[in-house]
Amino acid sequence: MSKPLVIDCHGHYTTAPDELGDYREQQKKDVKADPLFEHVKGIINISNDQIRDSLEGAQLKLQRERGTDVAIFSPRASWMGHHIGNQSTSKYWTEHCNDLIYRITHLYPQNFIGAAQLPQSPLADMQASAKELERCVLELGFVGCNLSPDPSGGHWTAPRLDDPYWYPIYEKMCELNVPAMIHVSASCHHCFDTTGSHYLGADTTAFQHYMMAKTLFKDFPNLKLIIPHGGGAVPYHWGRFRGLADMMKLPNLNEIIKDHLYFDTCVYHQEGIDLLFEVVPTENILFASEMIGAVRGIDPQTGHYFDDTKRYIDNSKLSDEDKRKVFELNTRAVFPRLDKRLKEVGLL
Ligand SMILES: [Zn+2]
């Protein structure tokens, strides 16, 4: 069997040049003065050399060192900040963030494939998000998106994830044949810390919404959703969720998740990855590192980066066949547009 392709399905552009942050600061000033401020898109001057510099010593270097072939790459999640301003704030911010990802996918077509941020906003419906997803997939060649279950940034004001509120984006995803990663942004709630309790709590919450969804997967038989960060607390509490499903007379969890819910491998220790593989069907697990993301240091217990998740899978008890599923085949199945891109850049 040939060497599996190693596809990291969860990477963010966390090293963008300062000009991107400056644009955002100006937006924040504008909506502070007037919450209903109607923005214009404007221009952010970032050169190709600046983009290369921001990636060469960071994501690209780590990809090479770790043996990752290609990453599905999206804008920095903690900066999505859907709670800031109004619909026009999110619209133009998101377009700029996605445009930058598009430029990266052209500068490094073999290393990065795009996934979209969505211009969600707490008081808006999902129409603008559906429109931006269409632009990103059809015009920019993206293969997926990040959908926040909580655009209010920790206050959970949006309806549950199987509510018709979300249907316009699910419809567009199914029409375009792309999955979503269910990914919150920064917390603006004093009790939740962004990359710890807020991210993992949201992953866990999203899973339970989907587990209990009554007609969602009947309404959208092709809907595919990735719960990041190893599924939050879910795999560790698989017994609790199986028990809850049993009490609620729901189907077996493996049946519920089978064609719809997937977990990534952004779990930063061997024991956690081993548990994930033990309780969740291999077909529902996709390789990811979230590099460069929440945890950037070196584990003093191992001497390796916490987020070098490929090592944990290499060292796991999975058969070579199952490793290939996790590194490559599952991700190609969940992201149906990926094969075309991989062929175009000579990786398949
Ligand atoms: Zn992430």
* Cα–ligand 1 centroid distance for 1 (angstroms): 32
* Cα→Cα distances 164→116, 149, 171, 323, Å: 22, 13, 11, 37
Residues in Cβ contact with 265 at an 8 Å cutoff, skipping those fewer than 6 apart: 230, 273, 276, 285, 286, 287, 288, 289, 309, 312, 313, 326
* Cα–ligand 1 centroid distance for 293 (angstroms): 7
Active-site positions read 290
Q: Of all residues in the chain, what percent carry a pLDDT higher than 70?
A: 99
* Cα–ligand 1 centroid distance for 48 (angstroms): 24
- Taking 60 as the threshold, does the pLDDT of residue 1 lie above it? no
Q: For residue 189, how many other CB atoms are within 10 A of its CB?
A: 17
- What is the Cα–Cα distance from 123 to 120, expressed in whole angstroms? 9
* Cα–ligand 1 centroid distance for 246 (angstroms): 31
Class of the 7-344 domain? Answer: alpha beta
Confidence of residue 2 (pLDDT cuts 50, 70, 90): low
- Across the range 300-317, mean pLDDT stands at 96
How confident is the model at residue 161, as a pLDDT? 98
- What is the Cα–Cα distance from 245 to 62, expressed in whole angstroms? 40
- What is the Cα–Cα distance from 301 to 180, expressed in whole angstroms? 34
This prediction's pTM: 0.97
How confident is the model at residue 4, as a pLDDT? 83
- Across the range 30-47, mean pLDDT stands at 97
- How far is residue 150 CA from its own chain's centroid? 14
Q: Where are the domains of the chain?
A: 7-344
* Cα–ligand 1 centroid distance for 10 (angstroms): 6
